[in-house]
Amino acid sequence: MILRTIFLYYWCLSACNGQTGDDVKSLVTQLFTTNTYKKNVRPNADQTKPMQVDLDFYLVGINGIDEITQKLTTTGFLFISWTDEYLTWNSASYGNLEYIYVSQSDIWKPDITLQNGFSKLKELGDSFINVQILPTGEITWLPTEVFETKCNIDIKYFPFDRQTCEIVFVVWSSSILDVNVTKGSRGILLEALDPNGVWSVVSTSAGDDVLSSESRVVFTITLERSSAYYVMNVIVPVILLGILNVFTFVIPADSGEKMGYSITVFLAFAVFLTIISSELPKTSGSLLGYYLMFQMGIGTFVVAVTAFELRIHHRKDKVPYKIQRIFRSKCKTRVKSSDKNFDNPEKDKENEDGEKTWSDITSTTDFILFWISLVSTFIVTVTILGLLSSKYK
């Protein structure tokens, strides 16, 4: 559709009428047979000057990014134009014939190919694609392709990442002294772009690589992943499960539910990870991956500590004096800070002197571990979220 619009727009500005089929036939015979057109001769009368070729890129779609193979797939077409000095005519002599179409395989064309492609180097376009020729010899060729290009994918900030990829077109065999490809006046165009569900185009640029001896044009596209899906389906559930995990320490050991609860939360987390693993990049190095590992670590820690605590909790023997002494000071602070009305020195003294049982010790441990794990989970979560989301803001 867009192709046809462009064709009509560029080549039918002047009156496209008057010509007959015979005019076209005689022109084609004149150009290709009588003038003995040779498609392997570069069509400059002055061969000391390079053929100037302009290249613009219409991006039609972002088909996807593959993190494992580091591949960007795009659909697009090139707008390539040059002047063929052997394909000119006087339109008045041919019934005002203003343009003709010939197959791309019938004329000389620059051997432009994708340089950072993923598969075998191949000719752009196909023999069914026609080029348009104007009386001045100006040729326009619009080869369309699905381009697979190499691109370094950095998933450190997944799912808030941006990827910058280059699509490089090079003149493969001719030197810059023979064929000089430069970016056209329009560069990379997005008006034909269909939106992608995951990737949106943030910025683009086009440029000639003047430093290299090859003649090439580099189109750069910066893409941003839409992160809302991952926030809702990965990050928020993981944070919620992390909170549930910490609350294991709130359940009293006597209730008999403590172990069951901690294992259930751990299993829920493991099952959840299995479900979401297909949504995550299959390469390592993302901060989110480290965060999931941290949550898994906390989960393991909670289960292990709970098992150990329950064993201690049900011991019948006396608590050794050394352990009593350690916990006595901790308990005192706890009583004071948690109950202001209870600020009775005698009671405190009694509490201090009273012998600690194993169950007192486990409940103190629970209290301390609850706050330690809650605060550390909070700090790590906030840090990771901050790092992830601040990257481009």
Examine residue 76 and tell whether it contacts ligand NAG (CB under 6 A): no
Examine residue 83 and tell whether it contacts ligand NAG (CB under 6 A): no
Examine residue 24 and tell whether it contacts ligand NAG (CB under 6 A): no
Residues 6+ apart with CB under 8 A from 311: none
Give whichever of 95 and 207 is closer to ligand NAG, judged by the CB atom. Answer: 207
Minimal distance, residue 116 CB to ligand NAG, in Å? 21
Give whichever of 63 and 182 is closer to ligand NAG, judged by the CB atom. Answer: 182
Q: Considering CB under 6 A, how many residues would be counted as binding ligand NAG?
A: 5
Give whichever of 177 and 202 is closer to ligand NAG, judged by the CB atom. Answer: 177
Does residue 159 have a cis peptide bond before it, meaning omega lies within 30 degrees of 0? yes
Examine residue 129 and tell whether it contacts ligand NAG (CB under 6 A): no
Residues 6+ apart with CB under 8 A from 1: none
- Give the C-alpha separation, 211 to 273, whole Å: 48
Going residue by residue from 132 to 171, which x/- string records binding to ligand NAG, judged by CB under 6 A?
A: ----------------------------------------
Minimal distance, residue 9 CB to ligand NAG, in Å? 24
Give whichever of 48 and 119 is closer to ligand NAG, judged by the CB atom. Answer: 48
CA-based torsion, 94, 99, 103, 104: positive or negative: positive
User: ∠ CA 372-373-377 to the nearest 5 degrees?
Assistant: 120
Map residue 168 onto helix, strand or coil. strand
Give whichever of 206 and 288 is closer to ligand NAG, judged by the CB atom. Answer: 206
Q: Which stretch binds ligand NAG (CB under 6 A): 174-182, 256-264, 296-304, 325-333?
A: 174-182
In the block, tokens 């559709």 appear at: 1
Q: Which two tokens stand for residue 9?
A: 């727009």
Q: Which residue is nearest to ligand NAG (CB)?
A: 180
Q: Which stretch binds ligand NAG (CB under 6 A): 72-80, 123-131, 177-185, 300-308?
A: 177-185
Candidate residues 26, 70, 96, 182; the one interacting with ligand NAG per rule CB under 6 A: 182
Give whichever of 50 and 281 is closer to ligand NAG, judged by the CB atom. Answer: 50
Minimal distance, residue 182 CB to ligand NAG, in Å? 5
- Give the C-alpha separation, 198 to 296, whole Å: 28
Minimal distance, residue 82 CB to ligand NAG, in Å? 12
Examine residue 116 and tell whether it contacts ligand NAG (CB under 6 A): no
For residue 145, the cross-strand partners are 76
Candidate residues 3, 102, 176, 310; the one interacting with ligand NAG per rule CB under 6 A: 176
Helices (H), the chain: 2-11, 21-28, 228-230, 236-246, 258-276, 287-313, 321-338, 345-353, 358-390
**Cα dihedral: 369, 374, 377, 383 (round 10):** -130
Candidate residues 37, 43, 50, 230; the one interacting with ligand NAG per rule CB under 6 A: 50
Between 358-390 and 236-246, two packed helices, what is the crossing angle to 10 degrees? 160
Centre a 10 Å sphere on the Cβ of residue 289 and count the other Cβ atoms it contains: 16
Minimal distance, residue 50 CB to ligand NAG, in Å? 5
Residues, the chain = 393
Give whichever of 54 and 106 is closer to ligand NAG, judged by the CB atom. Answer: 54
Q: What are phi and psi of 227, to 5 degrees?
A: -100, -10
Q: Which two tokens stand for residue 199?
A: 């990737």
Candidate residues 81, 149, 174, 180; the one interacting with ligand NAG per rule CB under 6 A: 180
**Cα dihedral: 317, 319, 322, 327 (round 10):** 160
Give whichever of 174 and 180 is closer to ligand NAG, judged by the CB atom. Answer: 180
Contacts with ligand NAG by CB under 6 A lie at 50, 176-177, 180, 182
